[in-house]
């Protein structure tokens, strides 16, 4: 999952654009993956991005493009962070494809914050608007006009028409639309992607019919015209070189733990961490100075996790004072047990509490936390920003200690998150490391190595 990114330097302008939708469910992801596949089939190196905090779509981007997809989220990363990540990723790429989130103008709390439109403006990206034209003709022109004029700061380059019924239907649409039509996709149900939630398979678990996706877009999209679209927003700056490796940090990565922001791993490397990837399902705990256990689906692999040797080894490491940081699925794993309808399964037991899986969504949205308790990750008073999304609750012991007070979000209990025991911390917060420094975590790992 990790790679060494070459210096950004004076990055040449390359084709770059953002694919947005009028709303969720219009086929934005299918269009995005199809274009990525078609561009790659032409021999181009495609750098993928995803607007927002999502982990799922980036995994599919990565599977199709063969390059790690990066999240672009102004709330979590700040405008400078969005520019920095975008610029750094362009090194060695021939084209950049950004998938939007929800509808073009849909942001946090009904604002433009963290919307596709905000990212398009920050990066001066031309926008391709996906419209599902099933059952409409001239009304599509009204939609196009409204989206084009709602915010003149957004460069709406043209449209991608999805679910076109026939050549006659397409001719009617083109006769009334003002902007160029960059693609017109026919109704092909086998190419549709189902609406998704936490139960979805990740990109590495699904074999995409890349050839079919590429053929669909090559046939029905004006790819040569799309490749003329540009962003001139990338600053000519050198990316900060990685520090000398001073600690080894284990990264849990397998079917149970697979939710990581790519930039989080890069921030650890930039700070001097040598990342050691291992599977809590199959591997022993490697020789490391600290652990980062991300989110995922531990509940789907509870029996294997219970019987795997890493469970007891991580418990001993926690009791020994090793810095361990867990997010959502990591929190669930670090607790005492996971309760499912099929039974209760023992987990690491490093944190005092039990996870109970629920049938309803318990939390979804952006999180802003303030560190109010001692912990190995963030110093007192530091602000962390990220996201939470889970179908579970964590019942912690009455005397549990929490490191974070939430200004926004739900957390574990009563607006608190970041349960701490020894030098182990776990919470529902998926934090983005651009919102705070990783230096404290790396220093904690360094101090542990010395003991």
DSSP result, 160-210: EEEEE--HHHHHHHHHH-SS-EEEEEE--GGG------TTPPPGGGS---H
Stretch (H or E) spanning 81? helix 74-89
The strand pairing partners of 324, in sequence order, are 291, 424
Task: Give, in degrees to the nearest 5, the angle at Cα 163 between 159 and 166.
Answer: 100
Buried b (16+ CB within 10 A) or exposed e, 12-50: eebbbbbbbbbeeebbbbbbbbbbbbbbbeeebebbbbb
Return all residues near 117 (Cβ < 8 A) that are at least 6 apart: 20, 104, 105, 107, 127, 151, 154
Interatomic CA distance for residues 83 and 149, integer angstroms:
25
Number of Cβ within a 10 Å radius of residue 358: 11
Find out whether 336 and 329 touch, Cβ atoms under 8 Å.
Answer: no
Q: Which of 8, 328, 407, 445 is catalytic?
A: 328
Known active-site residue 445: no
User: 324 to each of 85, 92, 311, 333, 419, how far by Cα in Å?
Assistant: 26, 34, 13, 12, 11
**Distance, CA of 292 to CA of 237 (rounded, Å):** 30
Are 367 and 429 in contact, with CB atoms under 8 Å apart?
yes
End-to-end CA distance of the chain: 30
DSSP per-residue letters across 370-388:
EE-S--SSS-TT-EEEEEE
Residues serving a catalytic function are: 328
């Amino acid at each position: 999952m990790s790679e060494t990114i070459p210096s950004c330097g004076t990055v040449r302008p390359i084709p770059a654009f953002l694919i947005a939708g009028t709303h969720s469910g219009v086929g934005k992801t299918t269009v995005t993956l199809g274009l990525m596949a078609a561009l790659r089939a032409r021999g181009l190196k495609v750098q993928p991005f995803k607007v927002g905090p999502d982990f799922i779509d980036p995994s599919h981007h990565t599977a199709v493009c063969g390059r790690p997809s990066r999240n672009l989220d102004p709330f979590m990363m700040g405008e400078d962070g969005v520019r920095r990540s975008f610029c750094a990723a362009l090194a060695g790429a021939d084209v950049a494809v950004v998938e939007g989130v929800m509808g073009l103008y849909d942001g946090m709390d009904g604002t433009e914050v963290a919307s596709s439109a905000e990212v398009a403006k920050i990066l001066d990206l031309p926008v391709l608007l996906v419209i599902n034209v099933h059952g409409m003709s001239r009304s599509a022109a009204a939609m196009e006009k409204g989206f084009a004029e709602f915010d003149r700061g957004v460069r709406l380059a043209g449209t991608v028409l999805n679910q076109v019924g026939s050549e006659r239907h397409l001719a009617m649409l083109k006769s009334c639309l003002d902007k160029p039509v960059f693609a017109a996709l026919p109704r092909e149900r086998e190419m549709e992607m189902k609406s998704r939630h936490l139960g979805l398979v990740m990109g590495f678990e699904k074999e995409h019919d890349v050839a079919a996706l590429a053929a669909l877009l090559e046939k029905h999209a004006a790819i040569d015209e799309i490749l003329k679209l540009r962003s001139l927003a990338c600053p000519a700056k050198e990316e900060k070189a990685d520090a000398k490796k001073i600690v080894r940090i284990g990264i849990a990565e397998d079917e149970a733990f697979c939710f990581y922001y790519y930039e989080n791993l890069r921030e650890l490397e930039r700070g001097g961490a040598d990342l050691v990837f291992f599977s809590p399902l199959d591997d022993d705990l490697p020789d490391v100075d600290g652990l980062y256990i991300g989110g995922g689906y531990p509940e789907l692999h509870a029996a294997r996790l219970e019987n795997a040797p890493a469970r007891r080894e991580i418990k001993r490491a926690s009791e020994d004072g090793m810095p361990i940081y867990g997010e959502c699925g990591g929190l669930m794993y670090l607790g005492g047990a996971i309760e499912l309808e099929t039974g209760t399964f023992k987990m690491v037991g490093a944190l005092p509490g039990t996870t109970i899986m629920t049938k309803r969504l318990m939390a979804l949205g952006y999180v802003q936390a303030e560190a109010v308790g001692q912990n190995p990750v963030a110093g007192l008073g530091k602000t962390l920003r990220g996201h939470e999304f889970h179908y579970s609750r964590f019942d912690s012991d009455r005397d549990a200690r929490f490191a974070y007070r939430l200004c926004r979000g739900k957390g574990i209990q009563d607006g608190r998150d970041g349960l701490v025991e020894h030098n182990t911390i776990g919470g529902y917060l998926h934090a983005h490391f651009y919102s705070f420094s990783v230096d404290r975590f790396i220093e904690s790992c360094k101090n542990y190595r010395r003991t």
